[in-house]
Amino acid sequence: MRSGKHVLVEKPLADSRARGLEMVEEAEDRGLVLMADHTYCYTPAVLKIRELIADGSLGEILFIDSVRINLGLVQPDVDVFWDLAPHDLSIIDFILPGGLRPIEVAAHGADPLGTGRDCVGHLTFALPNDAMATCM
């Protein structure tokens, strides 16, 4: 961005909230696009879900359950939350009108394989209008 270029980044955008905000502010100050590459949002299935929600075909969304199963592959450098949660969260944020705006978040992880990092995880989000989203 310091070279005046738009930036497309792989997840995660940054290694901390503070660093992420710094990057966002720099992009805004320079009038540049800073975008995370959340490719799953642009698959035909996710685009269709977004369309059905936007046009009211599915009614008021009260519950979202996103289940991701990845048997066997445990990343050596990050836990399951850093590795997989951004995909589900970006999809939920993309399909909901106004985005993902949780009132409360609960995260639970476990390491049943003894890898030293959580390799099983579950996230729960309390949403406005008493709705709920879960993932992982």
Does 28 map to a domain? Answer: no
3-state secondary structure at position 33: coil
Confidence of residue 12 (pLDDT cuts 50, 70, 90): confident
Q: What is the pLDDT of residue 73?
A: 79
Range name among 25-29, 68-72, 97-101 with the lowest pLDDT average: 68-72
Mean pLDDT on 74-84: 87
Contact between residue 134 and residue 65 where contact means Cβ atoms under 8 Å apart: yes
pLDDT value at 75 more than 90: no
Does 72 map to a domain? Answer: yes
Does 1 map to a domain? Answer: no
Does 20 map to a domain? Answer: no
How far, in Å, are 1, 55, 81, 129 from residue 40 at the CA level? 25, 21, 17, 27
Q: What is the pLDDT of residue 71?
A: 66
Query: Tens digits of per-residue pLDDT, 36-71?
Result: 998 899 999 999 999 999 999 999 999 999 987 766
Q: What is the pLDDT of residue 24?
A: 96
Does 108 map to a domain? Answer: yes
The per-residue DSSP string of 104-126 comes to EEEEEEE-TT--SS--EEEEEEE
Which residues 6+ apart lie within 8 Å of 28 measured at CB?
Answer: none
Q: What is the pLDDT of residue 61?
A: 96
* CA atoms 114, 116, 121, 125: torsion sign: positive
Does 53 map to a domain? Answer: no
Does 12 map to a domain? Answer: no
Domains in the chain: how many in total? 1
- The proportion of the chain whose per-residue pLDDT surpasses 70, expressed as a percent, equals 98
- pTM (2 d.p.): 0.83
Structure tokens at 34: 């800073």
Does 8 map to a domain? Answer: no
Measuring CA to CA, which residue among 93, 101, 98 is closest to residue 128?
101
Mean pLDDT on 77-105: 93
The residue range of the domain holding 109 is 60-135
